[in-house]
Amino acid sequence: MNNLKQRIKEEALRLGFSFCGVARNDSLDELRPFYSGFIQRNGHAGLKYLETNFEKRLHPELIMEDAKSVIALLLNYFPPEIIPEEDNFIISKYAYGRDYHVIMRNRLNELIQFMKLSFGDHLAKGFADSGQVLEKAWAQKCGVGWQGKNTLIINPTAGSFYFIGIILTELELEPDLAETDHCGNCTNCVNACPTGALDTPYQLNIPLCISYLTIESRAEIPADLKGKLNDRIYGCDICQDVCPYNRFARPHQIPEFSPSEPLKNLRKKEWIDLTEPDFNRIFADSPVKRVGYRRFKRWIP
C-alpha cells in the first residue's frame, strides 16, 4: 500500500503538483452540524450547488460506491510577477491566466491514467472545484494543509496560493496523517478583511465576501459594501496576502497561469475603455470570462 502511494506521489510531483496526500475514504458526517448550520443561516448566500450536493459532499460513497481512498493535490498559482495595483483595477491572482478548472482536470486525468496503467484498471474520478466533494476538508485529512481562519487551505511550508484537486479511487492506499491547525494567536486575516466576512474566524460569511460579490453575485452590491472594494473588480486576495505563511509562497512554474501581455498592460484608463470584443479576446481562456462583459463592467466606472 505504501509503495503504491509513493509511486502516485512521485508521479504527482512530476506532473507539476506541489503536494499530494492521501486519506482513507470515510464519511464526513462529523461536519454535518457545521454545514447544515451554515446553510440554514444563509452563510452560503443561497448558492444552489452547495445545497444540492449536500449528502454527496458528506458521503463520497454516494459518488463512488467502492471508493477506498481520497487523494488531495495542490497546484501552485502564486504568480512570479504581481500585476501593479497602482492606477489599476485589481483582479485576483488565481485569475491571471487560463481557467484553472481545465488545467487541473487535465492533470488529474493524467494522474488517474498513470494509476490505471500502473496498478490495473479500477474506478477513479477527479474533481476540480466541482461542488461535489468537500475539497478543503479532504485536503486537511490528507495532510497537505489546514483550513485557516481565512477558511483557505494553508500548507505550513508553502502558504495558500494553491488550487485543490481531489481524486476518489478504489485503490486502497496508506493514509497520511491529517494536518493540524497552525493559526495560533494570529488574526491577520480577520483584521484585514475589509467587509467583516471573517468576523467569525474559520467561517466565511459569503454574502459579505468581495470574491462572492464580484464573481458570483448577480445582484447590486449593497451600498455599505461598495466603498470597501478598493478597486477590486474580480475576486480578492487580502486575507491571503496578509497571512504570514504566504511569506513562503514560491512562484508557480505553470506557463498557462501567467497573465497575457495585454492583461499585464491594462491600467485604469484601458479598463474603463474596454470594449466587449477586447474583453472576449483578453479573457478568452480565463475564468473571468464566466462573469461576462456586462457583469464584469459593473464595477468599472
Active site residues: 129
**Site track for ligand SF4 across 168-197, x = CB under 6 A:** ---------------x--xxxx---x-x-x
Q: Which of 45, 62, 64, 242 binds ligand SF4 (CB under 6 A)?
A: 242
Report the distance separating Cα 207 and Cα 202, nearest Å.
15
Instruction: Give me the least distance between CB of 21 and ligand SF4, in Å please.
Output: 19
C-alpha cell at 294: 456586462
Report the distance separating Cα 25 and Cα 16, nearest Å.
25
Report the distance separating Cα 27 and Cα 137, nearest Å.
11
Instruction: Give me the least distance between CB of 188 and ligand SF4, in Å please.
Output: 4
Question: What is the three-state SS of 130-158?
Answer: CCCCCHHHHHHHCCCCEECCCCCEEECCC
**Scanning residues 120 to 179, which ones bind ligand SF4 (CB under 6 A)?**
148-150, 154
Instruction: Give me the least distance between CB of 88 and ligand SF4, in Å please.
Output: 17
Applying CB under 6 A, the span of 10-18, 25-33, 204-212, 274-282 interacting with ligand SF4 comes to 204-212
Pick between residue 25 and residue 155 the one whose CB is nearest to ligand SF4: 155
**Scanning residues 66 to 85, which ones bind ligand SF4 (CB under 6 A)?**
none
Q: Which of 144, 239, 274, 291 binds ligand SF4 (CB under 6 A)?
A: 239
243 is a site residue for ligand SF4 (CB under 6 A): yes
Pick between residue 8 and residue 238 the one whose CB is nearest to ligand SF4: 238
Instruction: Give me the least distance between CB of 249 and ligand SF4, in Å please.
Output: 12
The type of residue at 279 is F
Pick between residue 109 and residue 246 the one whose CB is nearest to ligand SF4: 246
Angle among Cα 201, 291, 276 to the nearest 5 degrees reads 145
Angle among Cα 123, 55, 73 to the nearest 5 degrees reads 50
Task: State the residue number with the nearest CB to ligand SF4.
Answer: 148
Report the distance separating Cα 236 and Cα 210, nearest Å.
6
C-alpha atoms less than 13 angstroms from C-alpha of 290 in its C-beta half-sphere: 15
245 is a site residue for ligand SF4 (CB under 6 A): yes
Instruction: Give me the least distance between CB of 227 and ligand SF4, in Å please.
Output: 13
CA dihedral 195, 210, 89, 275 (to 10 degrees): -140
297 SS3 class = helix
Q: Which residues bind to ligand SF4, rule: CB under 6 A?
A: 148-150, 154, 183, 186-189, 193, 195, 197-198, 204, 209-211, 236, 238-239, 242-245
